[in-house]
Amino acid sequence: MKNRLKILRAERDWTQAQLAAELDVSRQTINAIEKGKFDPSLPLAFKVARLFDLSIEDIFEYPAEP
């Protein structure tokens, strides 16, 4: 699953650690999500969306069926 987390974070000039602190997760988790290695759960995706004041679809993109 693709996402714009890194871009959104950079736009606000936040570090991964700062974002992790806001979301109550580890910095490793933020890094793994940004790199697309780990897909967040729905509650965490909502938390991210609320933090950036966007919808989940604005941040996360599920690849279309072939």
Binding site for other proteins (CB under 8 A): 12, 14, 17-18, 20-22, 24-29, 31-32, 37-38, 40-41, 44
Asked if 65 and 6 touch (Cβ cutoff 8 Å), the reply is no
CB 18 to other proteins: min, Å: 6
Q: Which residue has the tokens 């940004």?
A: 34
Asked if 37 and 28 touch (Cβ cutoff 8 Å), the reply is no
Residue with Cβ nearer other proteins (53 or 57): 53
Task: Tell me how far apart the alpha carbons of residues 63 and 66 are, in angstroms, rounded to a whole number.
Answer: 9
Residue with Cβ nearer other proteins (4 or 51): 51
Residue with Cβ nearer other proteins (4 or 52): 52
